C-alpha cells in the first residue's frame, strides 16, 4: 500500500476538479467509482481510496490481487497530476507504510541418531 496526501492551494478545489474531469471524460484513463471514493485506472492493477478534508486529499493505493504493483497506478496518477494540475497543488506527501510480516515458523530439529 502507498499513501498519498495532496495538499491543494487555497481555493483551488482540486478534489472537485479531478472528480469532474474523471466523470466528464477529460481524464479518460481514470474512473471514479463509489460516489468518488474509489479511483481506478484502465490498465493498472488496483485502485485508490480517496477522502477529502480541509484542502487535503488522502489517497491509499491498493493492489490486493498483485501485491507490490501499486507503484504502477501511483506513477500514472502522479504523472497526470504534475502534467495537468500542478498549478493547483502546494505539496504532495508520499508514505510507504511497512507491512507487518509474520515471523517465519521455526522448524524443530530432529535429534541425532
Confidence at residue 94, expressed as pLDDT on a 0 to 100 scale: 94
Q: How many domains does the chain have?
A: 1
In a domain, 103, yes or no: no
Q: What is the CATH classification number for the domain harbouring 14?
A: 3.30.310
pLDDT, tens only, 13-62: 999 999 999 999 888 889 889 988 889 888 888 889 999 998 999 999 98
In a domain, 51, yes or no: yes
Q: Which domain holds residue 52?
A: 2-95
Pairing mode, if any, of strands 47-53 and 56-62? Answer: antiparallel
Amino acid at each position: 500500500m502507498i499513501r498519498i496526501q495532496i495538499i491543494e492551494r487555497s481555493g483551488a478545489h482540486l478534489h472537485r476538479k479531478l472528480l469532474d474531469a474523471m466523470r466528464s471524460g477529460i481524464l479518460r484513463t481514470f474512473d471514479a467509482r463509489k460516489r468518488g471514493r474509489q479511483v481506478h485506472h484502465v490498465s493498472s492493477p488496483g485502485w485508490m481510496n480517496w477522502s477529502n478534508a480541509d484542502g487535503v486529499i488522502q489517497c491509499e493505493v491498493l493492489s490486493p490481487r498483485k501485491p507490490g504493483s501499486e507503484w504502477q497506478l501511483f506513477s500514472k496518477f502522479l504523472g497526470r497530476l504534475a502534467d495537468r494540475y500542478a498549478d493547483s497543488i502546494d505539496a504532495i506527501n508520499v508514505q510507504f507504510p511497512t507491512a507487518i510480516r509474520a515471523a517465519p515458523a521455526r522448524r524443530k530439529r530432529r535429534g541425532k541418531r
